[in-house]
Amino acid sequence: MALEGLVAAAIERGDFKAAAQHGAQLVKFDSQSYEAWFNLGVVYQKINRREQAGQAYAEAIKIRPSSELALVNLGTLLQDRGDLAEARKVYERALENAPGDPIARWNLSIVFERLGSVNDAEKSLEKLVESESEHDEAWFRLGYYRLLREDYHASVDAFRRAVEKRPDWLEALINLGLAQWRAGDLEGAKSSLVQAVARHPHSTEALRTLGALSVEMNDYALALDIEAKLEELGEPSAELVYNIGVLLERANHSEEAVRCYRQAAELKPDFGEALLNLGNAMKNMGQEEDARMYWQKAVDVKPELAEQYF
């Protein structure tokens, strides 16, 4: 039929408005053609006429109920406009016809998450990676879901699979480190976060996470190195610098601790704990007058410290 040729030619040259016009005429003449309705849905979708696209896909599905392509495309339209309950039904129907369809399985997991059913989202992704083990995004989100429900060892496994697929993936490396940390594997967490910093030296998120871990591990040498790198990037963290000060004071590095407490107070003038510890450190160094001055500043910015400490 001439109209079929016109539709095909318009699609070929990227003129989707013309393809939609010809396609609309075609389905009037051949209303039982699955291909005509499906292609009309595609071109309507291309020109952002979503309601008409959905209607066209629905007609295609009436003719060929088992078409996972039409079902997935319709589900995507429903999902985009926020009709999640209907999108879920359409994706589940597509998966009945094609259980291994990765797009339907992935989209269904996103719909489940948006509906607040994270457990169902996780189950959907577990089925997806059974057949699509190279799906890095699926492994990442599995790690995220497992982290949410505090299954840290399973989360580590999923994030590690994501990193295997994409070794430079910053978010996956950081989350792998966090999952390892919460699972009690501090050395493993350190290794993952060091890798994240090595591959992304300007990532303040990776640096701050590694800095916090270094404090947890009492590794003040690494903590000071991270602090210096954050300084170079112009992104120092008052809380991290303060914690490094605590760590240094425990290790009897009083002068370095004083420097950190002072820097934390400069970065965050109302940081009462930093001012308090600065006063304590000054007292331990025999500088009573300076100690009293910082204690007073601490109480001024945070009066409850007076009751707690004095």
Residue 62: CB atoms within 10 A of its CB come to 12
Question: What is residue 18's predicted lDDT score, i.e. its pLDDT?
Answer: 82
- The mean per-residue pLDDT over the stretch 6-19 comes to 74
Query: Which range, of 17-26, 119-128, 243-252, averages the lowest pLDDT?
Result: 17-26
Question: What is residue 109's predicted lDDT score, i.e. its pLDDT?
Answer: 97
Question: What is residue 7's predicted lDDT score, i.e. its pLDDT?
Answer: 64
Q: Distance from first CA to last CA of the chain, Å, rounded?
A: 92
- Enter the DSSP assignment of 280: H
List the domain boundaries for the chain: 198-310
pLDDT band at 58 (very low <50, low <70, confident <90, very high): very high
pLDDT band at 31 (very low <50, low <70, confident <90, very high): confident
Give the helix/strand (H/E) hosting 120: helix 118-131
Query: Is residue 175 within 8 Å of residue 147, measured between CB atoms?
Result: yes
Closest CA to 276 of 259, 256, 292: 292
Computed over every residue of the chain, the mean pLDDT equals 91
CA dihedral over 27, 32, 38, 41, signed as positive or negative: positive
- The mean per-residue pLDDT over the stretch 26-54 comes to 89
Spell out the alpha helix ranges (H) of 149-253.
152-165, 170-182, 186-199, 204-216, 220-232, 238-250
Q: Rounded to an integer, what distance in angstroms lies between the CA atom of residue 155 and that of residue 141?
A: 9
198-310 has which fold?
1.25.40
| CA angle in degrees (0–180, nearest 5) for 192-263-261 | 85
- The mean per-residue pLDDT over the stretch 276-285 comes to 88
Q: Which pLDDT tens digit goes with each residue over 93-125?
A: 999 999 989 999 999 999 999 999 999 999 999
